[in-house]
Amino acid sequence: MRQYIIAGNWKMNKTVSESVQLAKDIVEAVKDVKKTEVVIAPTYLAAAKVADVVKGTNVKLAIQDIHWKDQGAYTGKVSIDMVKEIGAEYVIIGHSEQRQYFHETEETVNLKVKKTLEAGLKPIICIGETLEQRNGGILKEILGLQIKGAFKDVSAEDAAKCVLAYEPVWAIGTGVTATDEQAQDTQAYARSVVKEIYGEAVAEGMRIQYGGSMKGANAPGLLAQKDIDGGLIGGAGLKADTFKAIIDAAE
């Protein structure tokens, strides 16, 4: 049985004080959650303070991105050691907004995945197609390239520590959600690609989140699907009650 993982990606939202408050609200809201792994990803600026709030609770910390270099002249970037020191457990890698606006490529995703694993942290690797790609009939090709690219030269043992997040670009922040069936079919395909690379055991063990306008109302249907093992949540993760409603569906 794969454990559900519900992760809130706060993106470029919340000041430091607002982030601390939201983290406190979430810690309080999920204190009785037992079965689901709960993760939050604040901004870099708020991460250290949020880390203090979640320490010793059942809420884990993720970072929204890292640079793959250890240190140096990379203005605006954060290294894996910085993230590790504050106690983050997960790193979100390859989010479609990084791919769309900040030149993320299959190569940089792969470098970040390897750097994260090397440091003993766990990647949440985002994949997903645009509407043009889906309508153009190249959904499987795109997902295959993204998955194979992310896992290039990653051992089966390391791959088993990763989480995949299937996020159709057309569903992110749009209010349009993939249907239960669309999400299930696509995630089953993603799992089959993992199986092709690493075999049955790694594929069956890997958790695949759905992301794209997930909320309390549509979470039960999505999370009931065989190949959907959680959610990567944007908008609905910015309030403790809307985030908790999704976690309730997983519990």
9 marked among binding-site residues: yes
94 marked among binding-site residues: no
95 in active site: yes
C-alpha 218/C-alpha 228 separation (Å) is: 13
170 marked among binding-site residues: no
Residue 31: partners with Cβ closer than 8 Å, 6 or more residues away:
57, 58
Q: Which is nearer to ligand PEP, 26 or 202 (CB)?
A: 26
- List 37, 104, 129, 167, catalytic entry: 167
C-alpha 208/C-alpha 6 separation (Å) is: 11
Residue 206's SS3 state is coil
Least distance from ligand PEP to the Cβ atom of residue 85, Å: 25
128 marked among binding-site residues: no
Residue 129's SS3 state is coil
Whether 49 and 19 have beta carbons less than 8 Å apart is answered as yes
Q: What is the CA radius of gyration of the chain?
A: 17
* Contacting positions for ligand PEP (CB under 6 A): 9, 167, 172-173, 211-214, 232-236
Q: Which is nearer to ligand PEP, 41 or 202 (CB)?
A: 41
204 in active site: no
- List 37, 67, 95, 97, catalytic entry: 95
Residue least distant from ligand PEP (Cβ): 234
Q: Which is nearer to ligand PEP, 120 or 173 (CB)?
A: 173
Q: Which is nearer to ligand PEP, 42 or 235 (CB)?
A: 235
CA nearest 121: which of 83, 157, 150, 148? 83
Place of tokens 């590790």: 84
Least distance from ligand PEP to the Cβ atom of residue 209, Å: 9
205 marked among binding-site residues: no
**Strand-strand pairing, 163-166 and 37-41:** unpaired
Least distance from ligand PEP to the Cβ atom of residue 215, Å: 8
Least distance from ligand PEP to the Cβ atom of residue 173, Å: 4
Tokens of 97: 């907004």
- Crossing angle, helix 240-250 and helix 16-29, to 10 degrees? 40
Binding residues: 9-11, 173, 213, 234-235
- What residues are labeled active site? 95, 167
Binding residues for substrate: 9-11, 173, 213, 234-235
